[in-house]
Amino acid sequence: MIRTILIDDEPLARDIVKHYLSNFPEVEIVAECSDGFEGIKAITQFRPDFIFLDIQMPKINGFEMLELVENPPAVIFTTAFDEFAIKAFEVNAVDYLLKPIEQERFEQAMQRLPAKLKQPEMTTELLETASLSPAQHNRVVVKSNGVIKIIAVADIHYFEADDDHVKLSTTDGIFYKNKTMSFFEKTLDQEQFIRIHRSYLINLGQVTKIELKEKDSYIVLLKSDIWLPVSKTGYVKLKAALGL
């Protein structure tokens, strides 16, 4: 038996996938979810072999959901219209079905499935390409102690490199995200977030003071009363961003 979960906020959209799946007796639907939170729960609980995943869903979108799942299963995306998502799929050769979903196309995807089940690791590049979508510029989704938190970028004070993680200092506390500094530098608004140092990416709105520490070496004070070092190239960027 191959086990699957359907994640889509529209019941009729799930119905059509269910209908198509009735031709595949070897596939068992173990759960149906109508948003990303339910999706994460169901995936952790049932550990399906693959999932059908919609992109635009309540609360968190399909990509954000995948970011939060450890060892995500193979995915067949289903989406109506999202230029960025489709670009991400095309770039990374993942299987995706455009709504309305054609039966023939569906069966094609199912035929490709066995090969994908053997190597279910979702390429990180897919998520990186997808994250260029404007929808994901104004928030960051993190998981801490099993709770999912959606953070508005305005509430982020700064990012700090921390081994293979990135530490986020926010109004609501400290969070960690399994990404690189350059990922955030690339995807967030480059006029708002400035890489002042190899280890620090700061929210320009949080800066209250820049001081000369010693010759050619500056430090910056944030509203949260934290001093951070500024590298030489970081100082150039900071000056340009502040229009000095």
Which residues would be at the binding site for another protein (CB under 8 A)? 9-13, 15-16, 19, 34-35, 38, 56, 58-59, 80-82, 98-101, 138-139, 150-152, 155
Nearer to another protein, 35 or 162 (CB): 35
Please state the closest distance from residue 56 (CB atom) to another protein, in A.
7
Name, in order, each residue with C-beta under 8 angstroms of 163's C-beta and a sequence gap of 6 or more.
none
Please state the closest distance from residue 137 (CB atom) to another protein, in A.
9
Please state the closest distance from residue 15 (CB atom) to another protein, in A.
5
Nearer to another protein, 59 or 143 (CB): 59
Please state the closest distance from residue 151 (CB atom) to another protein, in A.
8
Please state the closest distance from residue 201 (CB atom) to another protein, in A.
19
Q: Torsion over CA of 60, 66, 67 and 71, rounded to 10 degrees?
A: 150
Cα separation, 181 vs 200, whole angstroms:
8
Nearer to another protein, 10 or 125 (CB): 10
Nearer to another protein, 78 or 218 (CB): 78
Q: What are phi and psi of 169, to 5 degrees?
A: -95, 115
Q: Torsion over CA of 159, 129, 164 and 149, rounded to 10 degrees?
A: 60
Nearer to another protein, 16 or 30 (CB): 16
Please state the closest distance from residue 34 (CB atom) to another protein, in A.
4
CA count, 13 A, side-chain hemisphere, 205: 11
Cα separation, 113 vs 111, whole angstroms:
5
Whether 222 contacts 211, CB under 8 Å: no
Nearer to another protein, 12 or 93 (CB): 12
Cα angle value 100/105/106 (rounded, 5°): 80
